Structure 1
């Protein structure tokens, strides 16, 4: 009598799926290099803000750092995506990473020589944004060429861990480096960390865009926007993200509510800022379940609605720790949304268009929260922070519901047969 063996049931993952790191050496090097360099970039971002304030003594001058970064990022985001659809993406990523390295070395040299000119810092910030706008679309468009489609959700969850851990660890390490050894230490560490990113790019194979029959050799930004206009599912990923980032973005109100609601100070503001990042990091670390989800559009709608609800409830709380909990839940929901939005855009977009749509993604991610800050601040001045935050969260849920009703096919999107 022959014993019948029952095939083992697939293991249910709890923690992040590391399969992309195990199966693709190229992706593994790229992920490690990006993770290390992201921490270094966050250190430099903090050090520049501190140095500008030391030179000028003006918070307005520090605020201009963000403006000098945002404008080139928005201006070159779409253009960088078009370039990524024209040239070898490996070379574009390598050269833009080298540009970022040279800029960090220049900052370190200026600090060592005590050349403390605020115009130089502004110029470097603007050039860093240009290099970032070229690097981001090229790097993101490479991922679907390195991994099979079923591993893209896991890869995007790992990328979210990179971003959130960098945003948390980078400023802390940057503050320690500046406090102990000066600004040049943070800038030099940033330059050294880029070695990992440069090595990863250098080891990649050629990544020239794949072109369909009859397509032109030169990529056009307008062609990318026209393509986006005919792809309702991809458009919905942008619309849903804008609903969250524009309507339910409370960050600009944290200084006010830290005092008004919690009788706190700068440390309280720091906790409020950190809470969504902590939730986002946990969302990435405990992302193993996401690989089993096939209805990516429905997952995006639910996670964006969860963001809006969490922000709305946060606006009703007056207990600090409860408020931090709901901010963390919002950050976790945002990571889930980001994973499936990125996966949908990578899987449902032809390779020849991926760079340009990643450029649109950069513009939305960079511009949406800034517009949200302006809207939240205006609404709070006209009414109150509570009305602005809770009303914004509920407006986010309402708009997502209206979008889902208008484009009903989005909720039925199946990751196994991606259709843009």
Structure 2
């Protein structure tokens, strides 16, 4: 715990952590409202899956552009612009009052998520430039912990607020939190050596692609990190709430409590395992994640037992995410960080999108939610085998 306190004493890390907290909390707060709204308007499985995928798609299709912008544009100016975009798009959700406008909802989500992806890439590119070693690892873990806290509290409070106050109140509250983040950003002071990128955008794109192509170890680490996309459970949790739990508890509350329970575990797992995980034992964490998901699949019939099971699922995810991200940062030349981070987010989000679409279409075609969940768990067993191969050929080679 002392390491985390020391890391948070860094003025840039501390201020950006608070900004992250405000941004993430608001996002997850309104996420419950979005999916509850879809269920309330009678959306089918494919619409729910497409909406979940739309929040991940920008990092896939815009990755090369995001990387170039992050490497070229001043960090603070870029962050300010992105936060204003997120405010505008979030307020736009209020305009949606039926399924006939779902395409507008998806467009708004796409634009807001594009801004969020760029903001995330900018932060994760900045940190290795000002931090290194254990402090960088702790900063990644703090980022994960903040995400987990916001996921838990945002989903839980968002579910209650949406149930009692309605969708619009959640969207307005979200926009206000982004506004507070803007005010905090105004006071951020950065002392960075200005990097001059004289190459054209096309040349930067090409050089970044060539650098990644010529770095096989880095490519494999990116693919390994992408396996965590198998924990993209938004569509699955929404379908569980709609198909299995709505007779027991309101859909918004079910979504909120399932996600909040998992997120509490994400936070606890990071505290428990961050000092234990290493490149020597990462495969065991991947196996544990897979076994936990498979176990959850067999316990989904009962809402309250499912809460316990999804808690166990959440214990390993944040630790795996933070450590594999650190491995990517440490193996990337600083001149290419923005582009590599964006490509990494692209692969990660492809995994998230494919997972969301698999859940939606598999459910539509009649596959049980238990079987769908088991398939996701088995994916982590294969990820562990892939990492063992990676260790043999690139890490200890």
TM tier relative to shorter chain: 0.7 to 0.9
User: Which runs of 5 or more residues in structure 1 are unaligned?
Assistant: 1-12, 414-420
| Number of aligned residue pairs | 387
Matched, 1:147 2:119: no
Q: CA deviation at 1:169?
A: 1.8
Mean Cα displacement is larger for which, 118-127 or 87-96? 118-127
Per the alignment, residue 357 of structure 1 pairs with 340
Matched, 1:36 2:18: no
> Residues 296-375 of structure 1: matches in 2 within 5 Å?
296-315=278-297, 324-375=307-358
Matched, 1:190 2:174: yes
Contact 1:17-1:287 at 8 Å conserved across structures:
no
TM-score scaled to structure 2, two decimals? 0.79
- Counterpart CA distance in 2 for 1:269 and 1:184 is 18
Deviations 1:167-194 (A, max 9, x none): 2222333344445555443233222212
Matched, 1:227 2:211: yes
Mean Cα displacement is larger for which, 310-319 or 85-94? 310-319
Per the alignment, residue 67 of structure 2 pairs with 81
**Relative to 1, partners in 2 of residues 1:28 and 1:249: Cα closer, same or farther, differing over 3 Å?**
closer
Matched, 1:204 2:201: no
**Relative to 1, partners in 2 of residues 1:311 and 1:249: Cα closer, same or farther, differing over 3 Å?**
farther
- Counterpart CA distance in 2 for 1:333 and 1:373 is 20
- Counterpart CA distance in 1 for 2:145 and 2:161 is 23
- Counterpart CA distance in 1 for 2:42 and 2:368 is 30
Matched, 1:279 2:261: no
**Relative to 1, partners in 2 of residues 1:373 and 1:182: Cα closer, same or farther, differing over 3 Å?**
closer
User: Which runs of 5 or more residues in structure 2 are unaligned?
Assistant: none
Q: CA deviation at 1:64?
A: 4.5
Matched, 1:239 2:226: no
Mean Cα displacement is larger for which, 24-33 or 312-321? 312-321
- Counterpart CA distance in 1 for 2:299 and 2:395 is 32
Matched, 1:18 2:27: no
> Residues 55-70 of structure 1: matches in 2 within 5 Å?
56-59=41-44, 63-70=49-56
SS of the counterpart of 2:62?
Answer: helix
TM-score scaled to structure 1, two decimals? 0.75
